[in-house]
């Protein structure tokens, strides 16, 4: 990956250390996540990006962010007799990250995307409203947390200063009982962030903290991937919270809201995934829990500039081109990508970066891809329950004090509300012209038989409870997206998740469905896996891969980590004891 402005030549395999780099790590450690090229980790400040005007922009603020170095190799693929041709199946975050990393080293990359535009679950498309306005519809709000180092490095290829993103001042949470919480103004660094939250939270006070079960609670301060999965993956998320003795109000306001952001009911989410999420967003990182959002719809803000940048580096995009199957090519060791309309093309390697349903279909239609055990693993990949995004164009504004984003709990199917004109320029222009408001509602983990119209009715009814002024508003237009294509991370599922590498060394996987034994989640897991998939191919061809960055790979406090290990040795705090709620 590159943090600098676009260059015409591939970057060096080992760039010089940035100013202020502390040099070799004080306590070097080695890890090999999924046998990818990330083989050495160093806690060091992340290097800044450089804008076209020469301004230095830091990647993050946490001095304990960890750099995972790739396997060494040549600076590019120029030593090979023939430049490898790579097909990337899927033009979402994972596929774009893989394409960028491969193109940097000189591979000839073609990205196949079945939809008309790039971005995957962050794609967008034009739609005409009843008033004649042309606007961009998407699959809904996404938060770009400051811990998303690898995603932000990808976006910085086309936007070095990340000027397309703007910060939101708060992450407010509201429960149906009236309880409220906020993450604005908290210190960024744990444990001070957690203590400050307790000090001012109406739902999680000092008495609640004192009542927590010490043994299970300490598990949250000793999160290290993959060990946390080995300890906790057999549990569901509520079992862990029961064992920790989280107060009910805080659980509903903060942690259930977060777990449902994985598009699953908490009972269907692994406790290890929840513990890892605590580590990434709150207890393990000093980046804080606030986030940025795009100033414009996803295509204009992110994917069109990135596609322009990658095209200049030789990447070819084939949008609106669904792939039917992948066959062995006539040349041994190569692959033939067969699109729906015919006209197969041969490649030296393939990056499978489709979503879970797409990957299942593609592998099922490609009988020569992988071995039987791997194919069974792909066929068994679970998908999360349906979710719905309902966007409403109202004839009047919501109250002026409504935040841009509000997480909700205890309001039926409603999980969050976004007021788009608070940050998105396209929505702001429409709102100013009409005097109205653009409001987006999300409902996650819906029943399998959900119907979009009925879900929209229920979401609107809850909106009226939360923002009563909308009850009298007239809906000038509306759009609904009901989907069920996100991965599910159920209890006990971690050992069965597919990894970046497959039985065929020239076929690799990428996406948020992939097991990556690093502390990453959601969009950041997609971006990280895309880079690691590219690194696996580059390593095979003798070229250097790209570093990836993560939050600290262990709990921040050596004392709390030691106490957690003492507690585990002193009493049975593994899955059976935790599920019984023992401390």
Residues 124/298, Cβ–Cβ less than 8 Å: yes
Task: Please tell me the least confidently modeled range out of 101-110, 200-209, 522-531.
Answer: 200-209
Within-domain flag for 188: yes
Task: Please tell me the least confidently modeled range out of 142-151, 154-163, 188-197, 512-521.
Answer: 188-197
Within-domain flag for 265: yes
Residue at which a domain ends, from 433, 459, 483: 483
Rounded to the nearest 5 degrees, what angle is found at the Cα of 488, between the Cα atoms of 532 and 505?
Answer: 30
Please give the pLDDT value at position 424.
Answer: 98
Within-domain flag for 60: no
Please give the pLDDT value at position 16.
Answer: 32
Residue 471 has pLDDT above 90, yes or no: yes
- Within this chain, do residues 411 and 278 fall inside the same structural domain, yes or no? no
How would you class 462 by CB atoms within 10 Å of its CB: exposed for 0-12, middle for 13-18, buried for 19 or more?
buried
Q: Which of 75, 142, 518 lies closest to 303 in space, CA to CA?
A: 142
Residue 422 has pLDDT above 60, yes or no: yes
Please give the pLDDT value at position 570.
Answer: 78
Residue 187 has pLDDT above 70, yes or no: yes
Residue of 279 and 33 predicted with greater confidence: 279
Token code pair at residue 81 = 């007799």
Within-domain flag for 10: no
Residue 582 has pLDDT above 50, yes or no: no
61-67 mean pLDDT: 92
Average predicted confidence (pLDDT) for the chain? 88
- Within this chain, do residues 261 and 191 fall inside the same structural domain, yes or no? yes
What is the domain extent for residue 366?
66-121+297-381+497-547
Distance CA 117, CA 536 (A): 27
493-512 mean pLDDT: 97
Give me the CATH number covering residue 450.
3.90.660.10
Domain count, the chain: 3
- Within this chain, do residues 340 and 320 fall inside the same structural domain, yes or no? yes
Distance CA 507, CA 88 (A): 10
Within-domain flag for 206: yes
Q: How confident is the model at residue 397 (pLDDT cuts 50, 70, 90)?
A: very high
* H or E element in which residue 167 lies: strand 165-167
Distance CA 52, CA 49 (A): 10
- Within this chain, do residues 328 and 403 fall inside the same structural domain, yes or no? no
Residue 257 has pLDDT above 90, yes or no: no
Residue of 282 and 470 predicted with greater confidence: 470
Please give the pLDDT value at position 420.
Answer: 98
- Within this chain, do residues 422 and 473 fall inside the same structural domain, yes or no? yes
- Within this chain, do residues 165 and 194 fall inside the same structural domain, yes or no? no
Within-domain flag for 41: no
Give me the CATH number covering residue 102.
3.50.50.60
- Within this chain, do residues 422 and 369 fall inside the same structural domain, yes or no? no
């Amino acid at each position: 990956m590159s943090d600098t402005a676009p260059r015409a030549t591939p970057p060096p395999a080992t760039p010089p250390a940035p100013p202020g780099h502390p040099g070799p790590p004080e306590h070097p450690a080695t890890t090999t996540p999924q046998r990818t090229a990330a083989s050495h980790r160093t806690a060091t400040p992340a290097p800044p990006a450089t804008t076209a005007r020469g301004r230095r922009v830091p990647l993050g603020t946490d001095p304990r962010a960890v750099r995972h170095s790739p396997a060494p190799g040549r600076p590019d693929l120029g030593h090979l007799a023939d430049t490898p041709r790579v097909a990337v199946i899927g033009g979402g975050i994972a596929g774009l990250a893989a394409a960028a990393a491969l193109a940097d080293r000189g591979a000839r990359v073609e990205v196949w995307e079945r939809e008309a535009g790039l971005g995957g679950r962050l794609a967008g498309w034009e739609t005409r409203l009843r008033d004649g306005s042309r606007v961009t519809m998407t699959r809904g709000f996404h938060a770009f947390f400051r811990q998303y180092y690898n995603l932000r490095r990808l976006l910085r290829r086309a936007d070095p200063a990340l000027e397309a993103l703007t910060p939101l001042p708060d992450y407010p949470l509201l429960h149906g009982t009236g309880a409220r919480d906020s993450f604005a103004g908290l210190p960024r660094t744990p444990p001070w962030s957690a203590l400050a939250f307790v000090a001012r939270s109406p739902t999680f006070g000092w008495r609640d903290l004192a009542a927590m079960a010490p043994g299970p609670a300490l598990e949250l301060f000793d999160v290290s991937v993959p060990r946390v999965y080995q300890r906790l993956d057999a549990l569901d998320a509520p079992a862990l919270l029961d064992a920790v003795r989280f107060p009910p109000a805080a659980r509903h306001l903060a942690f259930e809201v977060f777990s449902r952001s994985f598009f699953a009911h908490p009972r269907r989410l692994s406790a290890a995934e929840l513990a890892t999420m605590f580590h990434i967003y709150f207890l393990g990182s000093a980046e804080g829990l606030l986030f940025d959002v795009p100033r414009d719809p996803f295509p204009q803000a992110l994917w069109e500039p990135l596609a322009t940048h990658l095209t200049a580096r030789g990447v070819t995009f084939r949008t609106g081109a669904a792939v039917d199957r992948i066959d062995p090519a006539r040349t041994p060791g190569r692959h033939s990508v067969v699109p729906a309309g015919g006209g197969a093309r041969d490649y030296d390697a393939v990056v499978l970066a489709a979503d879970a349903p797409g990957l299942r279909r593609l592998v099922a239609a490609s009988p020569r891809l992988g071995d039987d055990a791997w194919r069974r693993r792909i066929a068994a990949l679970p998908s999360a329950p349906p979710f719905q995004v309902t966007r409403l164009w109202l004839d009047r504004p919501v109250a002026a004090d409504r935040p841009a984003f509000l997480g909700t709990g205890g309001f039926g199917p409603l999980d969050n509300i976004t007021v788009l004109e608070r940050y998105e320029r396209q929505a702001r222009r429409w709102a100013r012209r009409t005097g109205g408001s653009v409001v987006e509602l999300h409902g996650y983990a819906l029943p399998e038989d959900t119907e979009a119209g009925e879900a929209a009715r229920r979401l609107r009814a809850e909106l009226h409870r939360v923002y009563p002024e909308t009850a009298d508003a007239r809906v000038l237009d509306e759009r609904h997206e009901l989907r069920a294509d996100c991965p599910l991370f159920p209890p006990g599922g971690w050992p069965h998740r597919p990894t970046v590498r497959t039985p065929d060394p020239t076929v690799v996987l990428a996406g948020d469905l992939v097991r990556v034994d690093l502390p990453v989640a959601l969009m950041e897991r997609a971006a990280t896996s895309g880079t690691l998939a590219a690194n696996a191919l580059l390593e095979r061809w003798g070229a250097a891969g790209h570093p990836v960055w993560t939050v600290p790979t262990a709990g921040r406090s050596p004392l709390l980590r030691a106490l957690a290990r003492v507690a585990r040795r002193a009493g049975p705090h593994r899955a059976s004891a935790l599920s019984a709620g023992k401390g």
